[in-house]
Structure formats: structure tokens, C-alpha cells
């Protein structure tokens, strides 16, 4: 993984993670000098302005697109190895999401890079002022295991579009995808500007000790705090995409579409989605009808034996599997509840009669378990949500415009979405990010470009004629009146 001229020639199909792991050049904590060397080289590249020109940015976005096209099947196979994702889900939620980001960036790159003129006060005339986007420099991107391709490459699209160089640290908990990224990215992108660093927590620790111009982290709140503390040592700005317990308020559970959308949003990727509905607050009598509709929706999606469905994934590892299985004892299971230790699969599960103070309702579930809690009213649901940390998303299932407006006014969340969980991620022009405990900063589309840019102010004023005499001291009575009038 050196700093060499790049090639965009495709490479041979990847082997499995198990057979290919030893072939991949790796940088681990036991070799911190190599990490320092890579980061230092990136800073040297920033000084050359290699990644600044629009032509370079466009070429790298195009190269990333070619990588996805040429090796789509390799990534589908890797995602199947890591998470048991079916081919359609892998393409839809990972590969196509990144393609959409690339297409959006390619379409709008020139527009985003343009300087924007701004008005200036009359007292400062004649002059001109503008805001011009400038690259930050070296960006560290630390990816997550639940969407190991999308959550690594979507931030990279923003970094490339903004003219930055980047060091990428894929998740070691998704080793097949990590290996694929480590092997393919150097084949398609300029290795002087983009490097992939492999390894676990020790590697992340060494990386976080280095000086970066921005750190982009996707993952849990616990590690997010570690990243923020490390960044503070260098006064490095951070974007933290953290997650949390995203609620769904259901006013009427009798509609089949409500159950289908809840089931799809929740059980996609076996529930391992940061914006998945974490629990349902069913208002009034909505819970009983919702349970029946959810049972139909789950059977319709995954058949009578979901553990055997090719469209249903598995839990990432045994530690997460055991944690999720322990939740099954913290309430009454009304749908699903079965699991297979050998395959690390847990059935799509719906639970009722859960204790609000139990770990099931205190911790982010991040798995295929959906608790339903009954609440008396819409206002009671809002109070419940607001009594807990700010979620990454909050969902309301209601066609009532008044309730939709009230929900948005009262609930503080990274996103407010009505009647369609998770889909806001598929809109490149919408910002994606958290608030409070669910994260800081946002990206996607222009929002990612600006997040990873310095929106630098520039002002030009001639010195041939000094029009500022009126505001120079000494401040006489006449000058004071002129200043009041001008400003």
C-alpha cells in the first residue's frame, strides 16, 4: 500500500475472505511507523494541490464508478460473507446508494465548486466579496460494519468532490468487504491521494493519534466519544454518525402499508440499520391491529421460515447475536423469536409488554427485534420520545397534517420522516446526520461537499482611493453622525 502512480485497470475477481486475507498488504498497530508514513505522505500531497482541480476530482469520481461497475459481483459476494446479505439487498442498499451519490456529485460538481458573491454594507463600498469552497486537506474516514461498503464510500465521494485526500479505515468486523476495498481502491483511485488502512481497534488508535484536517466516523456512541476526544487533542473537526433508538409512532395500525413499511425498514439487513425503527409507540388500540398486519407482512417478505430465506441476513458476529438473544427474555414475543446459533440468524421478532427501563428499551437494539409499546395518546408518545436521548430519526405514521406538523415541532431528531422509514437516506439532496447523542454534522450531496470544505470568505477592496476615512479616529461629532448613517 505505497504511494505510487495509480491505474484504473480492473483486477481479477476476489477470492473469499478466508483465502485472501493473508495476501492483502495490511497496516496494523504493531507497525505504527507505516501509518505515520502514510499520513505524512498525504499531507505532502495536499501541499502540491494534486486533488484541487475539478478535472482530478471528476476523474476520481468516475474511477470510483468504474470500480463499482467492474466489481459489483465481488462486493455482493463480500457482503454475503460478512452479513449474509442477499444480492438484491446488497445492490439496493449498498452499491446503488453509492452510485447515486457519485451520479449526484458528478452532475453538480461544477456548481458546488463555484464561488458565490455576497452583498456588502454600503459603508464598505466600493468592494466585492465572495465565498469560495476550499478543500480541508487530509480526511480520515472510519467506516462501520453494518453497511461496510456504503458507509465507507459515500463519505469518500464527499471527500473527493470537495478536493480532499483521504485515509480510509474499513471495519474489521466486515473482513470480506474490508479486504475487497483494500484491494480494489488502490487499483482504481490515485494512490497518492487515497489510502486504505486495515486493522482493528489498535490501528484506529494509532490513526487517531495523527494530525488530520477532518475525521469522519460512523458507528456507536461509545467509540464516537473516543474519536471526539482524540480529535480534540489536535483541534480537528469531526463528523459523527452515531445512531440511537429511532422511534416510530403509529396512530392507526390497521393499514397493511404501515406494517409493510415498518417491517421493511426494521428487518432490512436483519435490523442492523442505524435509522431502522427501534421501537413502536402504538397509540390507543393501534397495537392489536398492527401486530396482525406485521405478522402478514413478515410472512409475505420472508416466508414461513425466515431463517431459510435468501433475502434475510444474519447477525454480524456471535457477541452481537448473544446480546440480541438475551433481549428475547425482556418481554412477550408475539411474532418470531426463533434463532439459529450455527448461522447467527434471528427471526424477525415483535415483542409486547416490555419494561421501559429494561436494556431492550434503553440500548439501541440494532437487530431484528421490534418492541411495541402502547400509549394513550399522540401527546403521550411525544413525551416518551422527548424523555430520552435525541434519536437519529423519528417516524410518524399518520396522514393528519396537523399531527405531522406538531410532531416535527416537538420532536428533536436527526430527521423527521412521515410514513416511510429509512427512505430519506436515498435522497442525495437531503442532509443525513444526527443531533445530540445521535451525532454531529451531516453529509450526502452538497451537504457532504460543504461539510468537508472550508467555505472561505474572500473580500477585495481597492486602496487607490481611501473611502474609509470617515471611520478612522479621531472620532469627532461629525464622524460619529456619518458612521451612524452609514452603518
pTM of model > 0.75: yes
Neighbours of 348 (CB within 10 A): 27
pLDDT on residue 479: 81
pLDDT at 487: 67
Q: What is the DSSP letter of 430?
A: S
pLDDT on residue 427: 94
pLDDT of residue 29 exceeding 90: no
Q: At 30, is the pLDDT very low, low, confident or very high (cuts 50, 70, 90)?
A: low
Arithmetic mean of pLDDT over the chain: 92
Q: How confident is the model at residue 484 (pLDDT cuts 50, 70, 90)?
A: confident
**36-44 contact pairs (CB < 8 A, 24+):** 36/206, 36/210, 38/1, 38/3, 38/167, 38/195, 38/197, 39/138, 39/167, 39/207, 39/210, 39/211, 39/212, 41/3, 41/192, 42/138, 42/165, 42/166, 42/167, 42/193, 42/195, 43/137, 43/138, 43/211
Q: What is the mean pLDDT of residues 451-463?
A: 96
175-188 and 72-83 helices, crossing angle to 10°: 160
Task: Note every long-range contact of 305-310, with CB atoms under 8 Å and residues 24 or more positions apart, other chains counting.
Answer: 306/336, 306/345, 306/347, 306/348, 307/338, 307/339, 307/340, 307/343, 307/345, 307/347, 310/86
- The reported pLDDT for the residue numbered 409 is 97
Q: What is the pLDDT of residue 420?
A: 94
The helix (H) or strand (E) run that includes residue 417 is: strand 416-418
Mean pLDDT of the region 5-25: 36
Q: Is 274 a catalytic residue?
A: yes
Q: Contact 358/364 with Cβ under 8 angstroms?
A: no
Higher pLDDT, 472 or 186: 186
Tell me the average pLDDT across 132-158: 98
Residue 201 has which C-alpha cell?
481497534
pLDDT for 18: 36
Secondary element (H or E) of residue 403? helix 401-410
pLDDT band (50, 70, 90) for residue 122: confident
- Percentage of the chain with pLDDT > 90? 86
Nearest CA-CA partner of 167 in 107, 100, 119, 217:
217
As a whole number, mean pLDDT of residues 441-454 equals 97
pLDDT tens profile 33-78: 899 999 999 999 999 999 999 999 999 999 999 999 999 999 999 9
**Per residue in 251-291, pLDDT tens?**
998 899 999 999 999 999 999 999 999 999 999 999 999 99
Query: What's the pLDDT score for residue 360?
Result: 96
Indicate which residue of 89, 94, 101, 274 is catalytic. Answer: 274
| Band of pLDDT at residue 384, cut at 50, 70 and 90 | very high
How far, CA to CA in Å, does 17 sit from each of 181, 201, 204, 269, 346? 12, 19, 21, 20, 24
Residue 6 has pLDDT above 80, yes or no: no
Contacts of 260 (CB under 8 A, 6+ apart): 293, 297, 300, 301
> pLDDT tens digits for 185-226?
999 999 999 999 999 999 999 999 999 999 999 999 999 999
Q: How confident is the model at residue 477 (pLDDT cuts 50, 70, 90)?
A: confident
Stronger pLDDT, 29 or 425, i.e. the higher one? 425
Confidence class of residue 31 from pLDDT cuts 50, 70 and 90? confident
Q: Is the pLDDT of residue 446 over 50?
A: yes
Residue 10 scores a pLDDT above 80: no
Model confidence at 130, in pLDDT bands (50, 70, 90)?
very high
Model pLDDT for residues 325-342, shown as the tens digit of each residue: 999 999 999 999 999 999
| Number of Cβ atoms within 10 Å of the Cβ of 468 | 11
Q: What is the pLDDT of residues 159-176, one digit of tens each?
A: 999 999 999 999 999 999
DSSP-assigned letters across all residues of 186-210: HHHS-TTTEEE---SHHHHHHHHTS
- Comparing 280 with 30, the larger pLDDT belongs to 280
Estimate to the nearest angstrom the gap between the alpha carbon of 195 and the chain centroid: 20
Which has the higher per-residue pLDDT, 473 or 484? 473
The predicted pLDDT at position 16 comes to: 37
Catalytic residue among 89, 241, 347, 364: 241
Amino acid at each position: 500500500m505505497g504511494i505510487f502512480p495509480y491505474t484504473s485497470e480492473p483486477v481479477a475477481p476476489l477470492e473469499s475472505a478466508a483465502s485472501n486475507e493473508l495476501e492483502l498488504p495490511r497496516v496494523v498497530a504493531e507497525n505504527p511507523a507505516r501509518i505515520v508514513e502514510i499520513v505524512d505522505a498525504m499531507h505532502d500531497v495536499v501541499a502540491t494541490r494534486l486533488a484541487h482541480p475539478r478535472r482530478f476530482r471528476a476523474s476520481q469520481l468516475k474511477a470510483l464508478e468504474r470500480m463499482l461497475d467492474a466489481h459489483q459481483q465481488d462486493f455482493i459476494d463480500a457482503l454475503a460473507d460478512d452479513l449474509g446479505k442477499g444480492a438484491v439487498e446488497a445492490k439496493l442498499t449498498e452499491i446503488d446508494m453509492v452510485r447515486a451519490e457519485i451520479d449526484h456529485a458528478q452532475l453538480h460538481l461544477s456548481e458546488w465548486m463555484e464561488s458565490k458573491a455576497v452583498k456588502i454594507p454600503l459603508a464598505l463600498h466600493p468592494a466585492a466579496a465572495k465565498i469560495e469552497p476550499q478543500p480541508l486537506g487530509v480526511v480520515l474516514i472510519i467506516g462501520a460494519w453494518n453497511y461496510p461498503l456504503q458507509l465507507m464510500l459515500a463519505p469518500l465521494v464527499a471527500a473527493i468532490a470537495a478536493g480532499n485526500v483521504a485515509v480510509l479505515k474499513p471495519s474489521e468486523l466486515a473482513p470480506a468487504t474490508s479486504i475487497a476495498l483494500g484491494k480494489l481502491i488502490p487499483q482504481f483511485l490515485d494512490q497518492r491521494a487515497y489510502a486504505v488502512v486495515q486493522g482493528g481497534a489498535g490501528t484506529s488508535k494509532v490513526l487517531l493519534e495523527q494530525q488530520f484536517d477532518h475525521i469522519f466516523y460512523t458507528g456507536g456512541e461509545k467509540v464516537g466519544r473516543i474519536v471526539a476526544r482524540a480529535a480534540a487533542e489536535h483541534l480537528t473537526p469531526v463528523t459523527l454518525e452515531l445512531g440511537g433508538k429511532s422511534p416510530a409512532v403509529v396512530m392507526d395500525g390497521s393499514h397493511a402499508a404501515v406494517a409493510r413499511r415498518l417491517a421493511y425498514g426494521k428487518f432490512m439487513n436483519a435490523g442492523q440499520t442505524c435509522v431502522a425503527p427501534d421501537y413502536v409507540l402504538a397509540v390507543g388500540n393501534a397495537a392489536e391491529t398492527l401486530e396482525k398486519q406485521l405478522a402478514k407482512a413478515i410472512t409475505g417478505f420472508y416466508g414461513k421460515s425466515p431463517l431459510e430465506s435468501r433475502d434475510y441476513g444474519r447477525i454480524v458476529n456471535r457477541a452481537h447475536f448473544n446480546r440480541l438473544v438475551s433481549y428475547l427474555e425482556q418481554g412477550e414475543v408475539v411474532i418470531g423469536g426463533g434463532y439459529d446459533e450455527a448461522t447467527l440468524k434471528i427471526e424477525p421478532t415483535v415483542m409486547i409488554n416490555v419494561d421501559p427501563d429494561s436494556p431492550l428499551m434503553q440500548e439501541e437494539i440494532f437487530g431484528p427485534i421490534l418492541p411495541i409499546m402502547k400509549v394513550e395518546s399522540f401527546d403521550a408518545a411525544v413525551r416518551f420520545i422527548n424523555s430520552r436521548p435525541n434519536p437519529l430519526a423519528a417516524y410518524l405514521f399518520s396522514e393528519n397534517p396537523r399531527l405531522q406538523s406538531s410532531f416535527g415541532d416537538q420532536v428533536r431528531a436527526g430527521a423527521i420522516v412521515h410514513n416511510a422509514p429509512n427512505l430519506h437516506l436515498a435522497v442525495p439532496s437531503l442532509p443525513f446526520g444526527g443531533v445530540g447523542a445521535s451525532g454531529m454534522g451531516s453529509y450526502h450531496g452538497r451537504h457532504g461537499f460543504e461539510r468537508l470544505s472550508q467555505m472561505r470568505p474572500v473580500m477585495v477592496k481597492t486602496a487607490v482611493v481611501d473611502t474609509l476615512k470617515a471611520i478612522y479616529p479621531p472620532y469627532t461629532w461629525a464622524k460619529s453622525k456619518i458612521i451612524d448613517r452609514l452603518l
